Amino acid sequence: MGKGRSSRNERRPIRVGVGRETNFNRETDLVSSRLTILIVTNGEDTEMDYLKALKGEAWVRLGRVVVAFENGDPLNAVETARKRRIKDDFDHAWVVSDVDDFDVDKAQALAVKCDIELMLSKPCFEFWLLLHFEYSDRFFENCGKVGDKLTGYLPAWDKTRLDYSHFRQNVFEAAKRAKRLHSNPDSHSKTDLWRLVELLSSEEAGL
């Protein structure tokens, strides 16, 4: 733990789900601008490219956002986030991971215990990207099937070379669609990435 902070419970708070009609006072804005955030993902290509571009958006209200890759399953990503948050004294740590065929129960339990935001996509991160173009609650057998659907909008789609410009205009729309899916118990595919947009943007998203 870094100097000046005696426990995790004293970390600066972050506001979630605040609509654009909210008026932030200057004190709240200054606190947000000083927050340090660690985002760990186990997706080396698509996720890293997207998240690095996303954190640079003008509407991101937080201070310092670091995106890091950690190979392995969701549990390993959460454990890495836990250790690095302590080592580098981040205010908050978030983890972005696919569900795929992983057993996510242990990762979810550790995330709750360590106060880490675990954001899962079922079946994969590409489903979040698809929501930039359409609302869908259909079943996708695997990530490849989601990619096939994406090529209908992006014929040259290549998950190893993501072009963020194809997605940036629809980030908030994707978040609204993902949040709608979150409240639908019958949805076969889901993603928690709407929470990431809320956490990063506060008043701009209007979710």
Residue 57 is part of a domain; what is its CATH number?
3.40.50
Please tell me whether the overall predicted TM-score, pTM, comes out greater than 0.75 for this model. yes
Residues in the chain, pLDDT under 70: 1-33, 203-207
Would you say residue 187 lies in a domain? Answer: yes
Strand segments, DSSP code E, in 25-171 are 36-41, 64-69, 92-98, 117-122
The pLDDT, as a whole number, for residue 10 is: 52
Asked if the bond preceding 123 is cis, omega within 30° of 0, the reply is yes
Would you say residue 103 lies in a domain? Answer: yes
The pLDDT, as a whole number, for residue 102 is: 84
Would you say residue 1 lies in a domain? Answer: no
Would you say residue 160 lies in a domain? Answer: yes
Question: HSE of 142 in the Cβ direction (CA atoms, 13 Å)?
Answer: 2
Instruction: Identify which of 116, 118, 123, 72 has the alpha carbon closest to the alpha carbon of residue 98.
Output: 123
The pLDDT, as a whole number, for residue 22 is: 31
β-sheet bridge partners, residue 67: 39
Would you say residue 3 lies in a domain? Answer: no
Domain count, the chain: 1
Would you say residue 28 lies in a domain? Answer: yes
Q: Which domain holds residue 164?
A: 8-204
Would you say residue 68 lies in a domain? Answer: yes
